[in-house]
Structure 1
């Protein structure tokens, strides 16, 4: 765990990750690290999570615009977010992935993607009150703890009243694990909860992704609302 924390502080942490993704093909298999066969299971698990989340809300949630963080070629945007929201913005560090999304992968769905934003999450500042949902999947491991807390705090300003942040990430049993290949970290449930708390968020729903191969990390989903939100 100490080595992983040290890796996150090194100058090359972000640069190495950017270099890794530049070498990855703009395909579903590339986005999922060779595990394209889990895409349908992943989307089904996320859809179930969202439907249950909407059902537990006291007020009918607004389903106008969502932000897809670490969007890649738009797999989640196309098959999940645009199935629930009228418009989506895609935030992605690799311009080649965004080009593939816009020109090919999204097809007609590209017409409902309002912004293709090429930027790392550590630098992104959302437009105030733009999003009803901010979806972060398999991307927060590319932020060190300090930048992750800052990013999550900025998300609050980008949400409409009653808006939520949803996080879907790999999870270690305990502590922190560093992946040298793609320059990312995998956090435990305890560390995620600590970061959410420090960032000002309350967990309003959480669930484990089911039916993934046992050789993969467990994957967990959290829905977050701002602590002072009267609608939580």
Structure 2
């Protein structure tokens, strides 16, 4: 069930092919959502509801600093995170997406923090965050790099901070590999295994409603370090 990148190509080719794919994708909502731009509003509303539930928990995360991983054109930062958090940092490896995010959010927006141009496999957080948001990007990391990425994010959380993952999940026990954009879609059990190997615990899960039937189910996970987080979600 584990995805072994060497079965398909070298690790460097896996990441280079993905970067090349996104370099040719237009910097629009429809572009970053693979032609499904019409689901953006539904997606944001589902994420808001999930995040608000986290904030009603015992010892909830703060609202000072969030990190948007694989931020694309800043769709999630602008519509979800910036209205909630004092500062939002973005990580995105594609330069044209970063430039578009600056325009959409506004370079003078007081809530816009640092923008990091780097792939998640190489990104090392430099600050502490209350919420680290990862959506539709973790399929571009192989299993080993994903575990390491989770570990680095865990170390970058505030006391009651959380990592939010929102990703496609296969409906089988197999990993699906997309040669087009060089990404993988994992089954639920593999996601759980990776989370556990990164010494994280699942605080809450949910499934996004209202999406078309012909796409993968989209699951949301709220994660926290096994120790010493105090957050408790009812």
TM-score if structure 1 supplies the norm length?
Answer: 0.94
Tell me which residue corresponds to 2:230: 231
Tell me which residue corresponds to 1:182: 181
The 5 A counterparts of 1:111-126 are 111-126=110-125
List gaps (5 residues or longer) in structure 1: none
Give, in angstroms, the shift of residue 3 of structure 1. Answer: 8.0
Tell me which residue corresponds to 2:145: 147
Segment drifting more, 153-162 vs 15-24: 153-162
| CA deviation vs aligned residue, 1:95-114 (integer Å, no higher than 9, x gap) | 11001111x21137743211
The 5 A counterparts of 1:59-78 are 59-78=59-78
Question: Aligned partners of 1:75 and 1:171: how far apart in 2?
Answer: 21
Give, in angstroms, the shift of residue 60 of structure 1. Answer: 4.2
Matched, 1:86 2:86: yes
Runs of 4+ with >4 A deviation: 1-5
The 5 A counterparts of 1:32-71 are 32-55=33-56, 57-71=57-71
Contact 1:78 1:109 (8 Å CA) reproduced: no
Q: Residue 20 of structure 2: SS of its match in structure 1?
A: helix
Question: Aligned partners of 1:178 and 1:35: how far apart in 2?
Answer: 20
Question: Aligned partners of 1:2 and 1:220: how far apart in 2?
Answer: 19
The count of aligned residue pairs is 229
Give, in angstroms, the shift of residue 127 of structure 1. Answer: 1.5
What is the RMSD of the two structures over their aligned residues, measured on CA atoms? 1.7
Question: Aligned partners of 2:51 and 2:156: how far apart in 1?
Answer: 20
